[in-house]
Amino acid sequence: GNSVTQMEGPVTLSEEAFLTINCTYTATGYPSLFWYVQYPGEGLQLLLKATKADDKGSNKGFEATYRKETTSFHLEKGSVQVSDSAVYFCALMDSSYKLIFGSGTRLLVRP
Amino acid sequence: NAGVTQTPKFQVLKTGQSMTLQCAQDMNHEYMSWYRQDPGMGLRLIHYSVGAGITDQGEVPNGYNVSRSTTEDFPLRLLSAAPSQTSVYFCASNPNLSTYGYTFGSGTRLTVV
C-alpha cells in the first residue's frame, strides 16, 4: 500500500544552519506530494507541494523536489530561523484523494 | 472566509460517554476527512467523505461514526468513549483536486478519563 517515511527527530540546529528533512514514499502511480508544518498548539498548514516528477515546490525559503527515480521529496532550507521551530509532515495524496502522512519530524532551532 | 472550523477546542469525557465533534467548512469543498494525531504516529485517517451523503472508512474507524448531510458539515461521533481515543482530532477539506492539498481546522484536543 501507499506509505510515507520521514526521518525521525528531533532535529536540533543553530540559527542560520542548513536544514534537510528526508522523506521517501511508496505509492502506485505518481501521487501529488506535500509538506505541512504544525506550529505549537496549532493545526497543520500547507507549506509547499509538487504535483509531478521533477517539480520543485517552494515557500518561505523552504524547497522540495519531487524525485521519481528515488521516490523522495526531501525538505530543505538554506538558513533556518528560530521561528521555523515546528513539526514538519510529509504527505502524499493517493488516487482516492486521501492524504497519507509520515510520522512527522520535530525541528528545534536554537538562537 | 473562515475556512475549516472545529468545535470544541478542548473536551474531557468520562469513559463510556458519547459526544460529537463538529466540523464545518465554508469553501464549498466536496472532500472532507477526519484525522487523529497521536505522538510519534503522525496523522491517521478515521473517516472521509467525497460528497454529501457519501462516507467511507479510513485507517482507524472503530469507535467512530460520521455522516454528511450537507456539503458544509461533517460531524464525528464517539459512541462510547474509551481512554484509547484520547488524542487530537483534525478535520480537513479539499475541493476535489489532487493538486490542491487539504485545508485543516485548528483541532480538538480530547481527553477520555
Q: To the nearest whole angstrom, how far is the Cα of B100 from the nearest Cα of chain A?
A: 8
Give B78-96 pLDDT, tens digit per residue: 999 999 999 999 999 998 7
> What pLDDT is recorded for position B42?
85
Contact B20, B34 (CB under 8 A): no
CA distances from A35 to A60, A64, B91 (A): 12, 8, 17
Among partner residues A42, A93, A101, which is closest to B42 by beta-carbon distance? A101
**Bridge partners (DSSP) listed for residue B31:** B94
How many angstroms separate the Cα of B24 from the Cα of each of B6, B44, B61, B100, B107?
7, 20, 20, 19, 12
Nearest CA in chain B to A92: B101
Q: Taking CB atoms and an 8 Å limit, are B48 and A98 in contact across chains?
A: yes
CA–CA distance, A65 with A86 (Å, rounded to integer):
21
What is the chain A residue with the closest CA to B91?
A43
- Partners of B78 in beta bridges: B19, B64
Of B42, B45, B105, the CB nearest to A104: B42
Residues 6+ apart with CB under 8 A from B108: B6, B7, B8, B9, B10, B11, B21, B88, B89, B90
Rounded to whole angstroms, the Cα distance separating A17 from A5 reads 24
Mean pLDDT, residues B1-10: 90
Residue window 76-95, chain A: list those with CB within 8 Å of chain B: 89, 93
What is the per-residue pLDDT for B1?
Answer: 62
- With an 8 Å Cβ cutoff, are A103 and B41 in contact? yes
Q: Which residue do the cell numbers 500547507 mark?
A: A46
Closest partner residue to A43 among B58, B101, B107, by Cβ?
Answer: B107
Please list every residue in chain A whose beta carbon sits closer than 8 Å to the beta carbon of residue B92: 44, 99
Task: Report chain A (111 residues): mean pLDDT per 10 consecutive residues.
Answer: 91 97 93 94 93 95 96 97 97 89 95 95
A91 to chain B, minimum CA–CA distance in Å?
10
- Closest among B21, B17, B37, B23 to B79, alpha carbons compared: B17
Query: What is the distance between the alpha carbons of residues B68 and B54, in angstroms, rounded to a whole number?
Result: 7
Helix (H, G, I), strand (E, B) or coil at B61: coil
The reported pLDDT for the residue numbered B101 is 84
Question: How many C-beta atoms lie closer than 10 Å to residue A60's C-beta?
Answer: 12
Q: Is the pLDDT of residue B40 over 80?
A: no
Which residues in chain A have their CB less than 8 angstroms from residue B109's CB? none
Predicted pLDDT of residue A30: 87
Tell me how far CA of residue B46 lies from CA of B1, B37, B73, in angstroms. Answer: 26, 10, 16
